[in-house]
Amino acid sequence: MNIQFNNRDPVYIQVIQHFKLQIAKGFLESGDVIPSRRELASQLKINPNTAQRAYKEMEEEGLIKTEKNQPSKVTHDQDVLRGVRNELIDEAVSQFVDSVKSINVPLEDAMKLIETHYKEKGDSND
């Protein structure tokens, strides 16, 4: 696991984003055990407090579950997991739309461009 952090967004939000991405890509599935806070901190080279905060937020969002004396796991709730995927896609598309709209690209042209680029890149995900 490795994240290139940027310095201007809160680190804990970047950590959450990272987990959501893993879930959306299917690398993390429901019920998977995720690293402990301490492990995560040392893997990502971040402050244990930050890891703690990211986990707390994810717990509140229902993304992960921690039962007493058990390692944290990705939630079994399929709705939440689907929600994550949709949220990410939604975010990406809305970002894309914002930027093409700002340079006045008509919808049709934008759609065509998407199609070309999508095919060019093949099905490699990442």
* Residues contributing to the site for another protein (CB under 8 A): 5-13, 38, 41-42, 44-50, 53
Residue 23 has, within 13 A of its CA and on its CB side, a CA count of 31
Long-range CB contact pairs, 104-109, < 8 A, 24+:
none
To another protein, the closest distance from the beta carbon of 16 in angstroms equals 12
To another protein, the closest distance from the beta carbon of 11 in angstroms equals 5
Instruction: Between 91 and 109, name the residue whose CB sits nearer to another protein.
Output: 91
Instruction: Between 59 and 80, name the residue whose CB sits nearer to another protein.
Output: 59
Instruction: Between 2 and 104, name the residue whose CB sits nearer to another protein.
Output: 2
To another protein, the closest distance from the beta carbon of 26 in angstroms equals 27
